[in-house]
Amino acid sequence: MSEQKTAYYLSFSDVIRVLRLVDETPFQELQLELDGLKVRVVQDKEAPAPHAAAPLAEPSVLAAASGPVREQAVAAAAPLTKTVFVSSAEGTPVFAPLAGTFYRAASPGAPPFVEIGTVVKEGDVVAILEIMKLMNHVTAPCAGVITEIRANNEQFVEYGQVLAVIKPERAA
Amino acid sequence: MKPLRVLDESLRMGQQALWATRMKTQWMLPIAPVMDAAGFYQVAAMAPVSFETAAMYLHENPWERLRLLRQHMPRTQFDFLVRSRNVVGWSPKPNDVVELFLKTLGKIGILGIKVFDGLNDYRNVAYHIQVGRELGLHVKALLNFAVSPVHTDDYFIAKARELAGLGVDAIVIADACGAMLPERARALIGRVRAELPEMELHFSTHPNSGVSTPCYREAIRQGIEVLWGASTPLANGHSFPPHATIVQLAREEGRALDLDERCLREMDDWFAWAAYKENRPCHEPDEFDPIAYEQTIRHQIPGGMMSNLESQLAGVGMAHRLPEVLEEAGRVRAELGYPVMVTPFSQFVGVQATLNVVTGERYSSVPREMALYCRGYYGQSPGPIDQNVLDRVVGDQPLIDPSAYFHDKMLAKARAERGSLSDEELLTAIFLNPTALETFNKNRKPIEWDPDARMPLLALLKELGKRPRLRQVEVRCGNLRVALSREAGAVAA
């Protein structure tokens, strides 16, 4: 009996092959025999194209192995609009040097680097931008007074986005 | 010569490289009895990234996973990969956290650790090794391989001697980037073998460069004791070579190897099913491409990070400047004294190179961690850091003693802040960043799994039943016949 069982042993690889055949067949009826296994399926007559109809017809994994799953793919879609760098009449913008997570303080609970009204020197830290787990200081491009903070704490910001605005010293 | 042994990395590196570390425990436990019987030297249970991902994205308690693996694989010895002073997570940890972590692993029955430091500065892990030995754990340490002017055979031998002096149970010559070529494997493993004849030696490299098979062959010829591999559907690419390849090599080289090949085939079959169901890729072996190798070797950016870099650049509309960034990464790596391109140093190099190219002015924007690196916070760089970079990044700031925080009392502080938590819960709170911890605590649920999941016929019927366009299904297997129909009375026909 145990020998017979071995003869009829069905592997998961066989199951994957059968499911792929079922999902890809353009015919209404499919019959297959594989060693000790017989499978017969009948599809609806008015069945639309197999792939559109089968919610669980996963793409063939083994055949289509083409590189690691890239969960970042969505984020990678390049924005089509380009930010225009302008220094407005009201002040000098502080831009995000790369896309990343914006932090106003060095650590949770710590006081923010700057508030509206803070007087900064050129090179003072205005915020932190986390890029791939690295903490990047965003510094003031000029001396002056912070007049606007345009990003929220822990918000994901895009490259070139204005994070804050400084009213330059001379104009102050 | 002793029989060759194999350390299984399917559940650690396999899923990290090919599944973005998203394998749930439900895919591990049904095959656990088979893995337990396969005859592995050890099974890698977890690493920092699998700990974090389990909690943050799968909402599983990593400690519970470890306990379940222990319970369902009673004969197996497990190990946990410990990343230098990070241990798990991103912040550096003092000695008290290291000690509590190793004790907690021991209580669960995870009795092996492998420690690594990307700078091979073993001052960072000497305490891990000492406490691990005191607790009776099996302690392996990684000799991180890289190709650079400073990573000579003499350098590695000095480092291996240092590890032997610290009392490790085994040394792993670990080529994290797939940079090793067969001639170097022969020379380096042969020399370390000759220098430390009593030390248990392991070797691991990645198949992405296409030469892992000849490298493993050389390692076998040089008398390596243990090679690292993975079940075939979780092998290749940036994972490790398939177990089946190691079996074949041992056979060809006339080296005894006690692995049950029937168990290996059952594992392959199961993980192929897991990949199919979870829509995860399986990798074919890569072929050696000398041009690609020459390009990669200049920067040695790990494959796992390449997609991150690409998306960062695409986000700035500069995807076409990737070659420039990679070239810059090669320069930055040299200027930083050739750290081995593993976490966190691969990020330092990759992000700095990106910033240098994007801003158009080298080192004008420098991440905080990079500045700390240049001031010695992470330990001694393998080679000297470029003086111009030091002038620019460090200026007149003082150097930092990398061991200054080792004796901090982080546990007492964390206990005072968080109240009475179990050791496991306290460590979880220390390891995860605040956002991850909040996500985990809000969404955590008990690990669920189906003990009957490993029944192919049942799985086939269930899958066919899920396809709404199938009107009738009939399956015969041996003396079993199942007929299903969406119309009453149709089955009898």
A98 and A164 part of one domain? yes
**Is the residue at A70 inside a domain?**
no
Q: Number of structural domains, chain A?
A: 2
Q: Enumerate the residues of chain A whose CB falls inside 8 A of the CB of residue B276.
A: 12, 16, 19, 58, 61-62
- Strands A162-168 and A144-149, bridge-based pairing: antiparallel
Cα–Cα separations (whole angstroms), residue B306 to B301, B309, B354: 7, 5, 12
**pLDDT over 90 at B402, yes or no:** yes
Pick the CATH number of B5-278 from 3.30.470.20, 3.20.20.70, 3.30.930.10, 3.40.47.10: 3.20.20.70
Residue A87 sits in a domain of what CATH number? 2.40.50.100
What would the pLDDT profile of A45-61 be if each residue is shown by its tens digit?
655 544 444 443 333 33
pLDDT of residue A56: 36
Question: B276 vs A37: CB contact, 8 Å cut-off?
Answer: no
For residues B312 and B350, give the distance between their C-alpha atoms in angstroms, rounded to a whole number.
Answer: 10
Specify the 3-state DSSP secondary structure of A71: coil
Rounded to the nearest integer, the mean pLDDT of chain B is 94
The interface residues of chain B toward chain A in range 404-463, judged by CB-CB distance below 8 A, are: 434-435, 456-457, 459-460, 463
**pLDDT over 60 at B29, yes or no:** yes
Q: Which residue of B has its CA nearest to A28?
A: B470
pLDDT of residue B38: 98
Q: Which residue of A has its CA nearest to B458?
A: A15
Q: Could you check whether the bond before residue B344 is cis, i.e. omega within 30 degrees of 0?
A: yes
Backbone φ and ψ for A5, nearest 5 degrees, come out as -60, -40
Structure tokens at A6: 């071995």
A100 and A163 part of one domain? yes
**Is the residue at A63 inside a domain?**
no
Cα–Cα separations (whole angstroms), residue B283 to A128, B17, B53, B110, B232: 39, 10, 22, 30, 9
**Is the residue at A152 inside a domain?**
yes
pLDDT of residue A135: 82
A87 and A138 part of one domain? yes
How large is the average pLDDT for residues B80-91?
Answer: 95
Residue A83 CB partners (closer than 8 Å, separation 6+): A95, A158, A159, A160, A161
In 10 A of CB B439, how many CB atoms? 16
What would the pLDDT profile of B142-160 be if each residue is shown by its tens digit?
999 999 999 999 999 999 9
Q: How many CB pairs under 8 A join A and B?
A: 202
A49 and A87 part of one domain? no
pLDDT of residue A46: 59
Q: Which of B455, B423, B336 is nearest to B102 (CA)?
A: B423
**pLDDT over 50 at B351, yes or no:** yes
A96 and A40 part of one domain? no
pLDDT of residue B153: 97
What would the pLDDT profile of B242-251 be if each residue is shown by its tens digit?
999 999 999 9
For residues B201 and B219, give the distance between their C-alpha atoms in angstroms, rounded to a whole number.
Answer: 10
Specify the 3-state DSSP secondary structure of A106: coil
Structure tokens at B179: 């940079």
pLDDT of residue A6: 40
Question: B476 vs A37: CB contact, 8 Å cut-off?
Answer: yes
**pLDDT over 60 at A67, yes or no:** no
How many residues are recorded in chain B?
Answer: 493
Q: Which residue of A has its CA nearest to B484?
A: A41
**pLDDT over 80 at B166, yes or no:** yes
For residues B358 and A122, give the distance between their C-alpha atoms in angstroms, rounded to a whole number.
Answer: 21
A143 and A96 part of one domain? yes
Structure tokens at B405: 């925080």
pLDDT of residue B383: 97
pLDDT of residue B491: 61
How large is the average pLDDT for residues B90-104?
Answer: 96
Residue A160 binned pLDDT confidence (cut-offs 50, 70, 90): confident
A20 and A93 part of one domain? no
One-letter amino acid of A8: Y
For residues B109 and B70, give the distance between their C-alpha atoms in angstroms, rounded to a whole number.
Answer: 7
Residue B456 is nearest to which of A11, A61, A160, comparing CB atoms? A11
Residue B20 is nearest to which of A50, A71, A134, comparing CB atoms? A71
How large is the average pLDDT for residues B196-205?
Answer: 97
- Which of B369, B460, B462 should one mutate to test binding to chain A, selecting the residue with the greatest count of A CBs within 10 A? B460
Residue B277 CB partners (closer than 8 Å, separation 6+): A58
A164 and A89 part of one domain? yes
Superfamily of segment(s) B290-393: Conserved carboxylase domain (1.10.472.90)
Q: What does the DSSP 8-state code read for residue B31?
A: G
**pLDDT over 80 at A1, yes or no:** no
ipTM: 0.85
For residues A128 and A138, give the distance between their C-alpha atoms in angstroms, rounded to a whole number.
Answer: 6
Question: A62 vs B276: CB contact, 8 Å cut-off?
Answer: yes
User: Residues B207, B286: contact at Cβ < 8 Å?
Assistant: yes
How many residues are recorded in chain A?
Answer: 172
- For residue A39, give its domain range: 2-53
Residue A170 binned pLDDT confidence (cut-offs 50, 70, 90): low
Lowest mean pLDDT among B289-303, B424-438, B476-490: B476-490
For residues B359 and B361, give the distance between their C-alpha atoms in angstroms, rounded to a whole number.
Answer: 5
**Is the residue at A29 inside a domain?**
yes
Structure tokens at B177: 């980037």
Strand partners, A128: A103, A137
At which residue do the structure tokens 């407005």 appear?
A: A88
**pLDDT over 60 at A72, yes or no:** no
Helices (H) and strands (E) in chain B, counts: 21, 10
For residues B321 and B377, give the distance between their C-alpha atoms in angstroms, rounded to a whole number.
Answer: 32
Q: Which of B178, B185, B238 is nearest to B209 (CA)?
A: B178
How large is the average pLDDT for residues B197-216?
Answer: 96
Lowest mean pLDDT among A93-97, A147-151, B260-264: A93-97
pLDDT of residue A4: 38
**Is the residue at A74 inside a domain?**
no
For residues B436 and A154, give the distance between their C-alpha atoms in angstroms, rounded to a whole number.
Answer: 13
Percent pLDDT > 90 in chain B is 84
Taking the CA of residue B361 and the nearest CA in chain A, the distance in Å comes to 12
One-letter amino acid of A90: E
**Is the residue at A62 inside a domain?**
no
Domain boundaries along the sequence of chain B: 5-278, 290-393, 456-485
Q: Enumerate the residues of chain B whose CB falls inside 8 A of the CB of residue A109.
A: none
Cα–Cα separations (whole angstroms), residue B202 to B42, B76, B77, B216, B416: 12, 18, 16, 11, 42
**Is the residue at A9 inside a domain?**
yes
For residues B145 and B155, give the distance between their C-alpha atoms in angstroms, rounded to a whole number.
Answer: 10
Q: Which residue of A has its CA nearest to B476?
A: A38
**Is the residue at A163 inside a domain?**
yes
Cα–Cα separations (whole angstroms), residue A151 to A113, A125, B85, B359: 14, 15, 33, 21
For residues B301 and B328, give the distance between their C-alpha atoms in angstroms, rounded to a whole number.
Answer: 11
Encode B236-261: b = buried (16+ Cβ within 10 Å), e = exposed.
Answer: bbbbbbbbbbbbebbeeeebebebee
Q: What does the DSSP 8-state code read for residue B285?
A: P
How large is the average pLDDT for residues B29-58?
Answer: 97
For residues B103 and B108, give the distance between their C-alpha atoms in angstroms, rounded to a whole number.
Answer: 9
pLDDT of residue A63: 31
For residues B380 and B186, give the distance between their C-alpha atoms in angstroms, rounded to a whole number.
Answer: 28
pLDDT of residue A136: 82
Q: Which of B431, B480, B443 is nearest to B460 (CA)?
A: B480
- Which of B469, B473, B474, B484 should one mutate to test binding to chain A, selecting the residue with the greatest count of A CBs within 10 A? B469
One-letter amino acid of B50: S
What would the pLDDT profile of A106-137 be if each residue is shown by its tens digit?
887 788 999 999 999 988 899 998 887 788 88
| pTM for the model | 0.83
